[in-house]
Structure 1
Amino acid sequence: MHHAFKLGDAEHNLELSRSASAYRLHLGEQVVDVDLKTGADGRAWLTLGERHIEVVIATRGDDVFVHLDGEAYQLRYQHPLDRLAAQAGGSAEDHIRAPMPGSIVSVSVKAGDAVAKGQTLLVMESMKMETTIAAPRDGTVAAVTYEKGQTFDRDALLLSLEPMEKKS
């Protein structure tokens, strides 16, 4: 099955197929066996080929936040119809919500600021790991809901952007 994911600003097209014991990830000519399992202790383990890596994963809708090898990554699954709409000028999300409970480490913008796609909006901390929240598109900050040091629950509205005005 063909899938598209965004990692930062880069779009990655890949295919997944079933194997006898897990899945196979097809990246061009390269094929890698992949599997994700949760142990009895609640820890998650990602297997890539012969490598087993402990990971922390949180999801929010089509966003997947992955902490592995000391780094944090945000992936976004893109449904093919959404990709077509975006290419035709559709708008991205205007509400940035918390992918997991945590606290604000720093806020880089304020209401009224113009932001560019990929620009850091804020940094949050959850489970002693920092995650940078970046602008999903160009726009103007409508409101910043939390300040440095404040805590929030999963799915809390952290920041909102002004809707994109349609060009005539």
Structure 2
Amino acid sequence: MQHAFKLGEAEHNLALSRAREAYCLHVGDRRVPIDLKTSPDGRTWLTLGTRHVEVVIATRGDEVFVHLDGEAHALRYWHPLERLAAQAGGGANDLIRAPMPGSIVSVNVKAGDTVAKGQTLLVMESMKMETTLVAPRDGAVAAVQFEKGQTFERDAILLKLEAAAGEGA
């Protein structure tokens, strides 16, 4: 399966597959064995092909920060819906993201529904607190990613909006 990652402002299309002892990263026609392990002393080691280097890794949502060879890199997984919205000229308000990890309490809309700015889209719960997420603009629901009871991480795309039929974006 192809995945898109952003490293800085550059987009990279990669595929990842299982190999006998680790994984393989597919970049174009190249196939690179890859592995990431933490040693007993707590250090993290990245193996890329025959290269074995120490790395420091921190995560925040879909962002991964990697310190490698004296340089820090920010890597962000680009969700296919987010990528399609950007390619189609969708705005930031088209993606309703989770402000924190949690679970869905109720979903008030379904794909195809027309919504008005301020209308309740769904209710989520996090740390025993309910949060109501509302439509940031008028539009139509393109996709609902989670159902009642499902859990998600911070920054997960919960719902996607698009222009309502007959409207411009």
TM class by shorter chain equals: 0.5 to 0.7
SS in 1 for 2:67: strand
SS in 1 for 2:83: helix
SS in 1 for 2:12: strand
- The one-letter amino acid of 1:60's match is R
Deviation of 1:84 (Å): 1.0
SS in 2 for 1:42: coil
1:71 has 2:71 as partner = yes
Unpaired segments ≥5 residues, structure 1: 94-154, 156-166
Once the two structures are superposed, the pairs formed by residues 101-112 of structure 1 within 5 Å of their partners are none
Once the two structures are superposed, the pairs formed by residues 1-168 of structure 1 within 5 Å of their partners are 1-87=1-87, 88-91=89-92
TM-score by length of 2: 0.53
CA–CA separation in structure 2 for the residues paired with 1:90 and 1:83? 11
Deviation of 1:89 (Å): 2.1
TM-score by length of 1: 0.54
SS in 2 for 1:81: helix
Post-superposition Cα deviations, 1:61-117, rounded to whole Å, max 9, x if no partner, equal: 000000010000000000101111222322189xxxxxxxxxxxxxxxxxxxxxxxx
Post-superposition Cα deviations, 1:30-72, rounded to whole Å, max 9, x if no partner, equal: 1100000011111100000111000000000000000010000
- The one-letter amino acid of 1:51's match is R
CA–CA separation in structure 1 for the residues paired with 2:81 and 2:90? 13
Aligned residue in 2 for 1:152: none
CA–CA separation in structure 2 for the residues paired with 1:90 and 1:38? 40
> RMSD of the TM alignment (CA)?
2.1
- The one-letter amino acid of 2:43's match is R
Unpaired segments ≥5 residues, structure 2: 96-153, 155-167
CA–CA separation in structure 2 for the residues paired with 1:58 and 1:70? 15
Identity of aligned residues (%): 69
SS in 2 for 1:89: coil
Q: Radius of gyration: which is bigger?
A: 2
Aligned length: 96
CA–CA separation in structure 2 for the residues paired with 1:20 and 1:29? 20
